[in-house]
Amino acid sequence: MSATSQVYSSRSIANYLLEQCGARGGLDPLQTIKLTYIAHGFHLGFYDDPLIEDDVEAWKYGPVVRPVYSMVPYGSSKVTQPITLERPNLTARDKGLVDAIIQNYSGLSGLYLSSLTHQQGTPWAITWQRFGQNAVIPRELIREHYKRVIAGGSAAVGTLGL
């Protein structure tokens, strides 16, 4: 990890996502979980450093950050309030990345984000096949996957402006 890097709790990143999206109607629980993972993945892909300190696990319907999953209120269609008192003190670089993820991905449904993150060849699929349900997805797999996504220049990556 570089000397200027900071790592955050996944709950604080989820809170930041919810705070930024609250005025626009919030996020559903699945969006909250998947956007936390996607922001972490792009952070690893762009900067080689993790955004969150928590592990990502391979669950049946894709990658899950357990501390976020355990805090989001299921049964509600949209979450508009923070899930905990934790707040990240984001560096300017990290704020820019998370804001770009919000701009480019928060309009996608949780189900669509889930489908993006658990296709064949993704870190989830590789971990699921090798180690089974609830196994920790190695950060190196996430890093290499997002480096390929970035190198592939998808439309969403192009608009991240990073």
Largest Cα–Cα distance in the chain? Answer: 41
Say what the pLDDT of residue 108 is.
94
Mean pLDDT of 119-133: 94
Structure token digits, residue 139: 């950060």
Q: Name the DSSP letter for residue 138.
A: P
What is the C-alpha to C-alpha distance for residues 19 and 31, in angstroms, rounded to an integer? 13
The secondary element (H helix, E strand) that includes residue 111 is: helix 110-117
pLDDT confidence band for 4 (50 / 70 / 90): low
Question: pLDDT tens, 12-55?
Answer: 999 999 999 987 888 999 999 999 999 999 999 999 999 999 99
Mean pLDDT of 117-129: 93
Neighbours of 69 (CB within 10 A): 18
Mean pLDDT of 101-114: 94
What is the C-alpha to C-alpha distance for residues 125 and 63, in angstroms, rounded to an integer? 9
Residue 59 DSSP SS3: strand
